[in-house]
Amino acid sequence: MSPVPTELWPWLALAGLGAFHGLNPAMGWLFAVALGLHRHSRRIVWLSPLPVALGHALSIAMVAGVFLWAGFVIDLRAVRIGAGLFLIGWAFYHWRYGHRHRVRVGMQAGLAALAVWSFLMATTHGAGLMLWPLLMPLCFPAASQPSSIGPVLTALLAIGIHTLAMLTVTTAVAVAVYEWIGLEILRRAWFNIDLIWTLALVLAGGLLLLA
């Protein structure tokens, strides 16, 4: 079996992060299940991940835009160090104060409100910040490995791959929990996703500082 080419690893990592975000109950699948149970509607369980993914993608794109702007106007080494320190700082902020900034939407929320909720949740959780260590080598590669499509299109492609993975996992988990598993699984097999999320932010920041 031939090894995976080095240039594919960042793309696979983007998809993996998308899957990780999709597994996080706070990113949308739990809300989709709750809406389905409240309205007794299988259809809403299938539809809810779409606006959730849209809001998530918009949040990721906003953060990626800030990153690209910084990469164009500031020295890349300074961007990398600053982004790493910011990520670690955000991780500790999320760990200490994140529980105070939960975004709440009622069970009567429409799909548009669900997209807004997803955007705010992804932004306050720092979901887009996790992509910075991957966007750095993709959007601003070394001179010996120039990008063929440019940093903006590369970032858009990265957001698309990440969002597709997130949408796939969110939908799969929401449907599985609604149809077969049930919410009782959260009591029997719960683990501290907030702690894992915080550690992931610290890891992303550390990767930027050590790169």
Is residue 106 left, alpha or beta, with left meaning phi > 0 and alpha meaning psi from -120 to 50? beta
Most confidently modeled range among 3-12, 33-42, 167-176: 167-176
Average pLDDT over residues 69-90: 87
Residues 32, 55: contact at Cβ < 8 Å? no
Amino acid at residue number 89: G
Proportion of the chain in helix, strand, coil states, percent, rounded to 5: 80, 0, 20
Nearest Cα residue to 170 out of 74, 40, 14, 45: 45
pLDDT of 9 reads 84
Could you tell me what percent of the chain has a pLDDT over 90?
32
Q: What angle do CA 49, 67, 202 make, to 5 degrees?
A: 75
Average pLDDT over residues 56-64: 95
Burial class (CB in 10 A: 0-12, 13-18, 19+), 105: middle
- Tokens for 160? 């698309």
Q: What is the tens place of the pLDDT at every residue in 135-193?
A: 988 888 765 565 667 888 999 999 999 999 999 999 999 999 998 887 666 666 556 67
